[in-house]
Structure 1
Amino acid sequence: MGSRKPALAIAALPGRRARMIEYAKEVEQRGFEGVFVTSVSACLPFCQAVLQETSRITVGSSIQPIYFQSARLLADNAAFMHEISNGRFRLGIGISHAPALDRYGVKNTGRPVSDMRDYVAEMRSAENEVGPLPPIVLATLRDRMLDLACEVGDGCVWANGPRETVKKQLAARPKTSEDAFSTAAMVPTVIDDDVDAARNVHRKTLSRYVLLPNYRNYWKAAGFEQEMADVEAAIAAKDLDRIPSVLTDEWLDSTTLSGPESRVMEGIEAWYDAGIKTPIIVPSAIKGGQTAGIVSIFDMYDRKG
């Protein structure tokens, strides 16, 4: 088993932002690859804060939704962070999903692939004015967005993708093996000797994702038709409390990591073997949430030596 360390995802939640910056600094001190900031709250300001408090690690947005600001404004902000960090910033952008768009009052969206193509083109057209841009990484699930990432982007990132499906998608596209093209996957992770209890944390977390049609369609195509049919039956019956119970262990284990340290370490290595150059561990815990999850990752690698 290799000695490489993955990246960690950190959410800049209200009331905890200063503490999370301290954890990000510790990520660097402990030799992890980087910090990737989720779109839950103040994604880009948090990225900038972490870049200014660190000197080595990669810092990225995973992801910044394209509908939240103009391409020209994002290009200006991204070029700034790229310059002040000496090239350590990675700009992850994506379409996001309906609940998040509704929360921010975004009403007028078009077709995801064409909107993303136009957005990246507009960002790149601003480069002569705003300065060099960081690597642009596209959030992807289905093949069309992955193909677009290979065409116009510098990398791709999945969230909650089944590992074997991601492996097949990457294997079909030779460009993704190039050193300059980044491949990343955000993998929800709970370390605990009680595998079932760890899985139940993921059942709760991922229940909101299976409400989204685009995710359900992706997981159906990945071979989890029955699970998604059961979810849709629960939605139709307005029995959302039943959804966690229909999320099978097989489905969870394809998209998340759960269980004791040895099992989680094997899972991280499996993501590398699948062609993911940067596994992004999304830490949580049975008790203590993100903070306890981060500490459990630190402890696991301390014990590994």
Structure 2
Amino acid sequence: MSERLPALSLAAVPGRRARTLDLAVEIEQRGFSGIYCPSFGDAMGLCLSIAHVTSTIEFGTSIQPIYLQHPAALATSASYLHEIAGGRFRLGVGVTHGPVVKRLGVETGKPLADMREYVETMGAAAEQTDGLPPVVLATLRDKMVGLAVEIGDGAVWANASRSRMEHSLALVPAGRDGFWIGNMIPTVIDDDLDAARARNRKTLQGYVALPNYRNYWFEAGYEDEMTAVQAALDARDPDAVLAAMSDRWLDDCTLSGSVTRVRDGIEAWFDAGVTAPIVVPSSTSGGQAKAFAELFDAYG
């Protein structure tokens, strides 16, 4: 069986947005399976640009926060993108994280109820604009997975534990053919495994500070790690937070190390049932451009 190429996560970095589109073109030319844009920056704007500079690759928002705009407005934009892209676009929506919502000053309800209402309102609005693209719900724990199965066309995780995916995907009925499964995976390619892991620890340091993520990883079998993280957070000790993030836990939700180790890890994510492992590249020695160069070399 030939090796399967992952999808890639791409964000428009301020000051280098034109180069970001060049990267999108190169990603398509190199045969990667998709491009998915995280909530950092203008994901919908970037997707519109990707629609115009590419012709075959699938792409979408990995997470477009629902509290940023009215559902009717997002439905209109998504319908337009769906048509312009010739059906290549997926709309991933999510409730985003508590600190983000707090900065926005948004009044929210319960995540499940807010998501259900938002998607239903989008669907009703899109009846006037020739329908929606496939809608993918950003998920983590079981109840949101269930809602994605009920009202969505797919589910996308960020920083999921591979060992937990069998449990999570068991919630998707076998009859849901075409139900899309994505997961954003922090990835660092470096022969110095310790350095690569250290970079991924920094990436996930903010996530372990979020209660919903700690609860997820607790359920995934990392009780000791999450208990230690909580104690370190209570003590306001960032070094202790990093120390609590064990290699065992880190290697379950990120990819670190040599080219062979990372490529084998991506294959393992496919084998776990993920339709689209979405590599989120970082580098121990540079920014986004360097991280993509290292990834391209790995699949050169």
Same fold at TM > 0.5: yes
1:238 to 236, 239, 262: 236
Q: Does 1:291 align with 2:289?
A: yes
Summarize deviations over 1:155-202 as a string: whole Å, max 9, x none.
000000100101221034224x74421011111100111111100001
> For the Cα contact (< 8 Å) 2:35–2:57, is it kept in 1?
yes
**What is the match of residue 204 of structure 2?**
206
- Residue 139 of structure 1 is matched in structure 2 by 138
Amino acid at match of 1:253: D
Alignment of 1:11-160 (within 5 A): 11-103=11-103, 105-160=104-159
Q: Contact 2:145–2:171 (CA<8 Å) still a contact in 1?
A: no
Could you give the per-residue CA deviations for residues 68-122 of structure 1, whole angstroms, max 9, x where no partner exists? 111111000000000100011100000100222233x233011001111111111
Quick one: percent identity of the two aligned structures?
Answer: 51
- Partner-residue secondary structure (3-state), 1:86: coil
Change (3 A) 1:168 1:241: same
Aligned-partner SS, 1:3: coil
**Aligned partners of 1:193, 1:171: CA distance in 2, in Å?**
35
CA distance in 2, matches of 1:287, 1:200: 12
Q: Which amino acid aligns with 2:32?
A: F
Secondary structure class of the residue paired with 2:127: helix
Shift of 1:241: 3.3
TM-score by length of 2: 0.97
Specify the code of the residue in structure 1 equivalent to 2:47: C
Report the Cα distance in structure 1 between the residues aligned to 2:221 and 2:244, rounded to whole angstroms: 15
* Local SS of the residue matching 2:128: helix
CA distance in 2, matches of 1:81, 1:170: 29
After TM superposition, the score normalised by the length of structure 1 is 0.96
Alignment deviations for residues 260-302 of structure 1 (CA, whole Å, 9 cap, x no partner)? 0111111001100110011100001101132211111111111
The whole-number CA distance in structure 1 between the counterparts of 2:111 and 2:98 is 12
Deviation at 1:251, TM superposition (A): 0.5
Matches within 5 A, 1:190-229: 190-229=188-227
Contact 2:207 2:213 in 1 (8 A): yes
Aligned residues, how many?
300
Aligned partner of residue 9 in structure 2, secondary structure: strand
Tell me, yes or no, if the aligned pair for 1:25 and 1:53 is still in contact at 8 Å: yes
Shift of 1:226: 1.0
Cα distance in 2 between the residues matched to 1:43 and 1:106: 21
- Tell whether the 8 Å contact from 1:21 to 1:49 is kept in structure 2 after alignment: yes
Q: Give secondary structure in 2 for the equivalent of 1:129.
A: coil
Relative to structure 1, the CA distance from residue 42 to residue 172 in structure 2 (aligned partners, 3 Å threshold; closer, same or farther) is closer
Is the CA contact 2:142–2:171 (under 8 Å) kept in the aligned structure 1? no
Q: Contact between 2:72 and 2:126, CA under 8 Å: does it hold in 1?
A: no
How many angstroms does 1:43 deviate by?
A: 1.0
Distance 2:142 2:3 in 1: 32
Distance 1:220 1:102 in 2: 25
Contact 1:158 1:186 in 2 (8 A): yes
C-alpha displacement of 1:2 = 3.2
Cα distance in structure 2, aligned partners of 1:53 and 1:28: 10
**Does the CA contact (< 8 Å) of 1:67 and 1:106 recur in 2?**
no
Amino acid corresponding to residue 243 of structure 2 in structure 1:
S
Task: Say if 2:255 is the partner of 1:257.
Answer: yes
Paired with 2:43 and 2:99, the residues of 1 have a C-alpha distance of 17
> Distance between the aligned counterparts of 2:69 and 2:147, measured in 1?
21
Contact residue 63 and residue 138 of structure 2 kept, 8 A: yes
